[in-house]
Structure 1
Amino acid sequence: MELPHELLNKKAEQGSMRAVLLLLGEFSDQDVEWMIIAGNSEAVEPGEILIREGEKVDALYVVLTGQFTVSISQSEADPMSQVYAALEGAVPQRELAKLSNGEVLGEMAFMDTRPHSTTIQAVENSLVLMIPRHKLMAKLAQDKDFAVRFYRALATVLTDKLRASVSRFRYGKGQSLSELVEYEDELDANTLEHLSLAGARFDWLMKQVHQEI
């Protein structure tokens, strides 16, 4: 039987994976089943923007396959940005990271209602599970146990992403998130115990989504 940190590293080889394992590790089987029923699988074409900087996020996304870039607009006060905007009709973007299968997107919108601070755009044919915000908010209001698990999972995912961002800027600027050194020693024992089950849940989720396509 694979140890939790071995499973985490194995899944990381297939894509980012870490975020969805941390998320599903806190959920129950019934929670995952609800996600599949409430969500919609959406194909995203190369160049298509899933989340746009400065706009509200209206869904939670789980990347099932494909790859996305995370970027932020260059300062409009920058002279080169002004030239680019005049020529291209848009402010240039600076890429911050690449995200792949298993990544969770739009989660900050459930902790902070301000517009999103980055743009997330597909760089290849991708597939996401999209859970509309209004359905998720209704579920959180009606099911208090689910709400506890959801926000605990969100806290775990966001904390892990923060640690990853700090590591990227400290040890390797420009490195994609999927290339980061793993931090299994920084995850608490309870989270690690849930990872094997989380991996099975994600595999089941993928199977169910593909059956519906």
Structure 2
Amino acid sequence: MVNALYTTLDRRLVPAGSLLFTAGQPGDAAYLIVSGRLEVFLERPDGDLVLAQRGPGEIVGEMAILDKRPRSASVRALEDSALVAITEQQLAHRIAETDPILCMCLGVVLDRYRETVALLEHMKGSAPPPAEAKSHSPSGPTANDAFTSALNTLVLEREIRDGVRAGQFEMHYQPIVRLSSRRLAGFEALMRWRHPHRGMVPPVEFIPVAEASGLISELTAFALAEAGRVLPEFMLAAMRNLSWIENQLFMSVNVSGHDLAAASFPQLIADLIARTGIEPDRLKIEVTESMLMRDPERAAAALAECRLTGLGVAIDDFGTGYSSLSYLSTLPITTLKIDRAFVRTLLTDRTSRRIVQTILRLADDLEIPVVAEGIEQVEEADLLTEMGCALGQGYLFGKPMPLDSSIATTRSWAALAPTKQRARI
């Protein structure tokens, strides 16, 4: 397989006995060895000190790119060798996407290795030990940034764990309306963290850390349990305002790719429905395109199991991913949600309007209702209604609210309906 891929990549042939690079040079690339053998060594007046040998499937030259310092050793070919270059740009992008704790650990490992190489060189010759061998602490702006980021992540992980145990997390609820009538159709349950010292922490700050650490499963379980617990309260409130509430008031809850990958997730859903007694079709889970694409087969299997219980499945931020059309026919989707980026420019940008219209036509052919997110102006809601969009949510209809305010909103929804549309009902 490596050889097949190799024919499509830039290659470098290094004859036996040739130097690939020498110690002290700046690192411009790392090299994947396809064939042949290389040796890593230190040049000494009384004879080279061989540190290691590398063969097919291994990499040489990565350190100078990873820690942006000169090469610590030299490399030469023991045999005619074929290599594939891995550029600094390719590695830098991947490192930037790496969890900060892993980055910090990687930095420590690299420092240890360089210290070992320096000490070996000192033992073989007469040069004094270099300054970096005297300390195990990372130095320089990049190392300090990595350390600070890792420390902040560790602290935040611990605080999330403590917050779950202390009951600091809570759900807020944002209205979703039927655009043609402006009747209240449901709510999206959104998590908030009421931190005792930081105040209200936005999801964008703690959700990525929770996903990277695996804590997201606990948060999702809490969110689903809360949705099941409060949905009957919303239904009772709706009974007092039947003229302005849809018959099947629903609740949407966001789940992550980590949740879908867990074998126990479909059972979690089944247990929730059995425990609360709620009608399954009143509960929806929302997943983003990017999460689905991490493991499409596993996601499809998990969602199919959830759909067997009657649960709804909504695809969030639709239109922003790379495989939107390919999975519509394979996933058990019951709702699409148009990303707010398209709604924000709907009135001023023809391209956004065409994209929205295309999504609506596609959904109509598939008989899948669409929710437009991020509606803030009556004109946006009116245009989406004319275009055939079924549902909408956004600040025009209400911001995410705590439970008490959401229940009160359900009871008095007529007072909150946009006046421009009320005359049409």
TM-score w.r.t. structure 2 length? Answer: 0.22
Whose radius of gyration is greater, 1 or 2?
A: 2
TM-score w.r.t. structure 1 length? Answer: 0.40
